[in-house]
Amino acid sequence: KGKIAVLTSGGDAPGMNAAIRAVVRTGISKGYEVYGVRRGYNGILNREMDLLTFHDVSEKLQHGGTFLFTARSAEFREEEGKKKAAAICKELGIETLIVIGGDGSFTGAKNLSKYGVNVIGLPGTIDLDIAYTDYTIGFDTAVNTAMEAIDRLRETSNSHERCSVVEVMGRSAGYIALWCGIANGAEQILIPEKFDNNYDKLIEEIKNNRASGMTHQIIVNAEGIGHSYGLAKKIEEATGIETRATILGHLQRGGSPTARDRVYASVMGAYAIDCIEKGKKNRLIGYKEGHVYDVDIEEAFQMTKSIDDYEYEVAGILGTRCEYK
Ligand code: F6P
């Protein structure tokens, strides 16, 4: 029927394997040849790809990471790289390229589509920072991993009556921090979308909380704000409360995907093939209001999304002693 290639690009995210598996199995069942490209866009430029069978994607669903490997390709970022990639796809007879990745990977896909390759994107990033979709592959697992880690930190922080600054991932987005803030009952959350750099106010709140009888405090700090060690030092110096910083880092990117990440990634992978079956071109797949859907890639790039104000407000109310409001 035709040739499809699938790749993962950018930061890996738990559930990417489930998405690849769904693309491969649905593709085969509908009569396509599905090629797995290794190491992101580099794999096209270097012709690193293999025809995948139904069996090749067995025992992958339950594992984090991506068995196709991933990369951020400097060569592909250049216009010449995209032209070369499109020419290779044409030469190999690959009509559609399915890209599982984040915003940066989709920018690459959008530009590649201008050279005649049909591209379909699946949102894969733990950051949740893709405007057109309410859900991204890996976010649920990452948040649960971070939540469990912060529960542990709270126990030791409590025992020592300390303040803990915990840095969670999210280069320029505070979704993981916001969710952990609520899920872990953090006393404060610092996210790039909202934090006004008013450290004096933050320190005042920490002091007030302590004065009101809080024996320990958790401050969830998004990577986008960063400087967690410096912040811990500042808090300790200003409040006299022993403070420790922990950066959770890449451990948030690994681990067996949650049921939600497995199911949504599988549904989106299958849906990508359905889009091809319907002759759709250059679409991004996502979830909106609980349902899988697809949107034109150009249109998707016009969309914006922001942190839910109400969720942020709730996090604040639940974290700070109301006696001091
Ligand atoms: O985009 C996912 C993400 O994990 C971000 O939260 C983080 O800032 C970045 O990737 C880290 O990238 P790398 O793995 O290249 O250090």
Q: Which ligand 1 atom minimizes the distance to the CA of 10? A: 1
| Tens of pLDDT, residues 103-142 | 999 999 999 999 999 999 999 999 999 999 999 999 999 9
310 CA to centre of ligand 1 in angstroms:
27
Confidence of residue 20 (pLDDT cuts 50, 70, 90): very high
Q: Is 130 annotated as a binding residue?
A: no
Q: Is the CB of 65 under 6 A from ligand 1?
A: no
**Known active-site residue 127:** yes
Q: Is 72 annotated as a binding residue?
A: yes
Catalytic residue among 12, 50, 127, 274: 127
| pLDDT of 321 | 53
Q: Is the CB of 82 under 6 A from ligand 1?
A: no
237 CA to centre of ligand 1 in angstroms:
31
Q: Is the CB of 217 under 6 A from ligand 1?
A: no
Confidence of residue 1 (pLDDT cuts 50, 70, 90): confident
Q: Is the CB of 95 under 6 A from ligand 1?
A: no
Among 16, 107, 126, residue to substitute to test ligand 1 (most atoms within 8 Å of Cβ): 126
| Tens of pLDDT, residues 232-281 | 999 999 999 999 999 999 999 999 999 999 999 999 999 999 999 999 99
Q: Which ligand 1 atom minimizes the distance to the CA of 129? A: 1
How far, in Å, CA of 169 to CA of 268, rounded?
A: 24
| pLDDT of 313 | 93
| pLDDT of 325 | 46
Q: Is 212 annotated as a binding residue?
A: no
Q: Is the CB of 125 under 6 A from ligand 1?
A: yes
Q: Do residues 137 and 16 touch, judged by C-beta distance below 8 A?
A: yes
Cross-strand pairs, 35: 5, 51
Q: What is the pTM of this model?
A: 0.96
Three state DSSP letters for the chain: CCEEEEEECCCCCCCHHHHHHHHHHHHHHCCCEEEEECCCCHHHHCCCEEECCCHHHCCCCCCCCCCCCCCCCHHHHCHHHHHHHHHHHHHHCEEEEEEEECHHHHHHHHHHHCCCCEEEEEEECCCCCCCCCCCCECHHHHHHHHHHHHHHHHHHHHHHCCEEEEEECCCCCCHHHHHHHHHCCCCEEECCCCCCCCHHHHHHHHHHHHHCCCCCEEEEEECCCCCHHHHHHHHHHHHCCCEEEEECHHHHHCCCCCHHHHHHHHHHHHHHHHHHHCCCCCEEEEEECCEEEEEEHHHHHHCCCCCCHHHHHHHHHHHCCHHHC
pLDDT for 323 beyond 90: no
